[in-house]
Structure 1
C-alpha cells in the first residue's frame, strides 16, 4: 500500500513514486533495519555517514513512510513525551543539559536538511500552547509551564504570553494567554521521509519495500521472500509492530487523526493571525495540534482512540464523524473558519510504551536494538534517538550515549515492561477518555470543575498502577 494521496494531504503534492524492489534472496549485511520511517532511515543515515564501509539494508513492510512517519501532524518538538520519567530524579544541572540537547536537536534537523538539499517545508515558528477557549485552561497551561521549567527548560525557551502577546501571534476565540515554546518547528513529513530515503540510497543503503519482517532469530531477519543475516538488527517499527518479535507487548498503537483545510485567503489569515506560522495547541485533554502550512492551509489533529487488542491503523482514511469532530474543534478555536472546506482527513498509529517514556535500547549480546515509544512526538525524537543508536552501535564515546533514555547491554524485555492483557488496558483507556470528555463538557458550559478533578486524578492513578 502506498501513502494515500487522496486522504493524506502531505502526499498530495508529490508525484507517484516507483516502488522499490522487495527482498527475494538471502543476504549478509552489517546492519539490518526493520522499518523505513524516520527512525530507521535516520539510523541508516548516521551509521553510513559515520562508517561508510558498513553494508546496511532496510526492510519495509509496505512503502517508505507508510507508518507514523507519513501520517503525523508535522510537529518537530524540542522535547519528548515522558521526559520527567527519564530525568525527574536528576540534579537540575543535568536536567537542563538534557533539555538543551532536546532543544538543539530541532535546529540540527533543520541544518541537516539544508545541507542535504531536502526541501521538507521545514519552518521554525515555535509553538503556542494556548488557553484559548475556557478560563479553566489558564491554570492548566500555567501548571504545564511550571512543569517545563521544573524539568529544566529555560525561561527563554518556554515563557508565558499574556492575552495581548498571544494575540500578536494568533487570534483565538478566547485568547486568555498561553505558553510560547521557541524550540518547535514544522515540516511536511512525507517530503521529509521520502527525501531521507533518497538520501540514504545515494549513500549506498539498500531499501526493500513490500518486505514484511516476520521473524528474528540468531542474527537473522526473515521475510516471506528472503532473509537478511546481520550481527546488528534494528527494530524501528514504533506503533506498527503488529505482533512482530513480541515488541507489540511493550509498545502499543494509539490512534491520532488529522485534517487539512483548503488554502485560506489572505483576508481569513488577517482574522486568525499566525503570520509567523507557529504550531498551536490548546489545553484540551484531547491533545490537539495544528499549524499553518507552507501553502496557507491549516493542518489540525487530535488524539483518537485505543483499539481493542492494540491494533494499528493500517488504512489512511478516517470517518466523516472524525473529520467533523476535528473541524468543529478547529472552528471553536478560530470562529472565522466557519464554513471552511476540509480537503483531507487521515490517521495513523503512534507508539506508546508501557513505561510511558521513549527509549533507545541496544542489546549487545543478541545484537538487537529497539527504538521508539515516542507517544506522538517522534518527528524530532526519531532523529535524536537514531543519532544516539548510531553512536551506540559504533561504540562512540558521545554525550548522546550517556543520555538517560539510552540503554545498552540489556534486552527490551528487561528494560520495557509489558502491557497488561486485554480487556484491562482497553477498559482503562475508555475510562480516561470518558473522564476527559466530561471535563471538556463542564468547561464548555462554564461550569467549575473542582469536584471532577479528584475523580480524574483517581482514574489516572488507577491507569498508572497498570503501567508502572
Structure 2
C-alpha cells in the first residue's frame, strides 16, 4: 500500500509527507526488539528510553507508523480500562481506589508527555458523556450502572448523573433523556499522536524501520524479508494484528470498528449540537456507537463493525453502502439536522479482543517476551499504561504499575486464556451481535409491546453474559 492518506480522516489531515522510513536490510543486534509502530510499541520504546537511555531498541513496522488502529480510532483517550471494575472487584478497598486513580490519571500522563515532547495532536480533556436518547431502557441501564459504580466506591468526582436539561447544556441529542458523565477522558487527533511519538522515539535514539513486516519470530530473534534482529527482549505490540503472528491469534482476536466523518459543520450547526469543550460521547446501546467533535469542526461517528471467520484480518476498509448506511442512519436519528450532511470520509480498523474481555500485560523472563493487548477498542489510553508497565517489567521494577490485576508479571504466553476454536467463535460472535441488533430494533420502536421489549432485553443480557 502506498496511498497512506486514504487510511482515515486522521491520516488525510496530516501536513507532513508520508514517506516511509527505510526498511530493515541487515542483521541487527538490540536489547529490545518491538514489533509494531503503533501506540503500544511506541509508548514502550519511549518509556524504556526515558528510564534506560543506554538500551538499544529497534522497532519494526509492517507498513508505516500509525497504519493500524493508532491511525484509525475514534480519538478517545480514556482514563479507564476495559472491564476494570470486574478486574478490581477482588481487591481491598484501599488498593481498589489506588488502582482507579492510576487509570484515571492516564489522560494527564499523556498530556504531560505531549507538553514535554512538543507533540501537537489537538488534545482536549472535556470528559465523556454516556447518553440515553433513543429509548427509555437506556436511561434505566445507565442509572443501574451508576449505582453499581457508587457501590464500588466511585463518587461524584468520577461519575455523575446529568438529567435531560444538564445533558442539553453539553450535547443536544435528539430525545436526550440523561447521561452519565465522567471527566476522566480526553479527545485527540490519533494519527498526529502516533506520528509524533514515532519522531520522538527516533530523537531518543530508537531505530525505527518501516515496511519491514516480521515474517517469523521466536524468543530472541525476528526475521523480515531482507533482514533480522537478535534481541534479549521481544515485544509483539500488534493488538488487532495478532492473527499475523502465530500463536498470538489464539489469545487476541481481531474485531472491526467502522467510522464516518462529516464535512466541517458551520458555527450555527455546532451551536445547536454542543460539544464545545472536546467532549467524547457515546449513545448507550450495545451496538457501541461513539463520537467526537474534531478540531476542524467535523463530527466523527463510529460503531462496531464485525468479526471474520477464523479471525481473519480485514484489509479493505472501503465501506460498503450498507456499512455507511447504518452509521448515517444512527447519526441522523441522534442529530436530525445532520440527516443529509455530506460524509467526507469513511474508514475502519482492526482492534484486539482478549478472551473473557480482560486486557493483559505480561513479561516472560524465561523466553524474553513482553506482551500487552486485548484493549477491546479502548487502546488509546490503555496502550500508554501498557507501555509504562512493560518498561517497568522489562527493567525488573516492582511498583504500583506491576502489581495490578491485569498484569500477569513473570508468566508465559501460554498462561493467557485462549479463544475457542472455529466455528465456535464465529457462531458465538454472530449470535451475540444479532441479539444486540434485535434488542436495539425492538427498543427503538416505541410501538413495541412491553413483553417484547422485556424479552429482547433479557435475551441480549443472556448473550452478553456469554462474553464473560
Does structure 2 retain, via aligned residues, the 8 Å contact 1:7–1:345? no
Q: Deviations over 1:341-382 (max 9, x none)?
A: 100000011100113111111001100011110000000010
Asked whether 1:109 is paired with 2:110, we answer yes
Match of 2:346 in 1: 345
Q: What is the alpha-carbon distance in structure 1 between the residues aligned to residue 70 and residue 36 of structure 2?
A: 10
Q: Deviations over 1:127-172 (max 9, x none)?
A: 1000012111101111222333344443212110011110100101
- Extract unaligned runs of 5+ from structure 2: none
After TM superposition, list the pairs within 5 Å mapping 1:298-337 onto structure 2: 298-337=299-338
Q: Deviations over 1:387-425 (max 9, x none)?
A: 0110111112321111221222211211x1111111111
After TM superposition, list the pairs within 5 Å mapping 1:356-395 onto structure 2: 356-395=357-396
Asked whether 1:12 is paired with 2:12, we answer yes
Residues 114 and 366 (structure 1 numbering): CA distance in 2 closer, same or farther, change over 3 Å?
same
Q: What is the alpha-carbon distance in structure 2 between the residues aligned to residue 111 and residue 3 of structure 1?
A: 33
Q: What is the alpha-carbon distance in structure 2 between the residues aligned to residue 194 and residue 84 of structure 1?
A: 32
Residues 2 and 121 (structure 1 numbering): CA distance in 2 closer, same or farther, change over 3 Å?
farther
Does structure 2 retain, via aligned residues, the 8 Å contact 1:312–1:348? no
CA displacement at 1:83 relative to structure 2:
1.2
SS in 1 for 2:6: coil
Match of 1:239 in 2: 240
Q: What is the alpha-carbon distance in structure 2 between the residues aligned to residue 68 and residue 182 of structure 1?
A: 24
Does structure 1 retain, via aligned residues, the 8 Å contact 2:35–2:41? yes
CA displacement at 1:4 relative to structure 2:
3.8
Q: What is the alpha-carbon distance in structure 2 between the residues aligned to residue 350 and residue 462 of structure 1?
A: 20
SS in 2 for 1:387: helix
After TM superposition, list the pairs within 5 Å mapping 1:66-85 onto structure 2: 66-85=67-86
Q: Which has the higher mean CA deviation after the structures are superposed, 445-454 or 40-49?
A: 445-454
Which of residues 445, 459, 463 in structure 1 aligns to 2:463? 459
Match of 1:259 in 2: 260
Q: What is the alpha-carbon distance in structure 2 between the residues aligned to residue 257 and residue 165 of structure 1?
A: 30
TM-score by length of 2: 0.96
CA displacement at 1:462 relative to structure 2:
4.0
Q: What is the alpha-carbon distance in structure 2 between the residues aligned to residue 83 and residue 370 of structure 1?
A: 19
Match of 2:425 in 1: 425
Residues 222 and 126 (structure 1 numbering): CA distance in 2 closer, same or farther, change over 3 Å?
same
Does structure 1 retain, via aligned residues, the 8 Å contact 2:357–2:467? no
Q: Which has the higher mean CA deviation after the structures are superposed, 296-305 or 77-86?
A: 77-86
- Counting matched residue pairs gives 463
Does structure 1 retain, via aligned residues, the 8 Å contact 2:243–2:254? no
Q: Deviations over 1:172-195 (max 9, x none)?
A: 101110111101001111000000
Q: What is the alpha-carbon distance in structure 2 between the residues aligned to residue 379 and residue 331 of structure 1?
A: 27
Match of 1:441 in 2: 441
Q: What is the alpha-carbon distance in structure 2 between the residues aligned to residue 224 and residue 411 of structure 1?
A: 28
Q: What is the alpha-carbon distance in structure 2 between the residues aligned to residue 151 and residue 69 of structure 1?
A: 32
Does structure 2 retain, via aligned residues, the 8 Å contact 1:78–1:103? yes
Does structure 2 retain, via aligned residues, the 8 Å contact 1:316–1:348? yes
Does structure 2 retain, via aligned residues, the 8 Å contact 1:3–1:66? no
Match of 1:167 in 2: 168
SS in 2 for 1:213: coil
SS in 2 for 1:180: strand
After TM superposition, list the pairs within 5 Å mapping 1:97-246 onto structure 2: 97-246=98-247
CA displacement at 1:237 relative to structure 2:
0.5
Root-mean-square deviation over aligned CA pairs: 1.4
SS in 1 for 2:454: coil
- Extract unaligned runs of 5+ from structure 1: none
Does structure 2 retain, via aligned residues, the 8 Å contact 1:261–1:344? yes
Q: Which has the higher mean CA deviation after the structures are superposed, 450-459 or 268-277?
A: 450-459
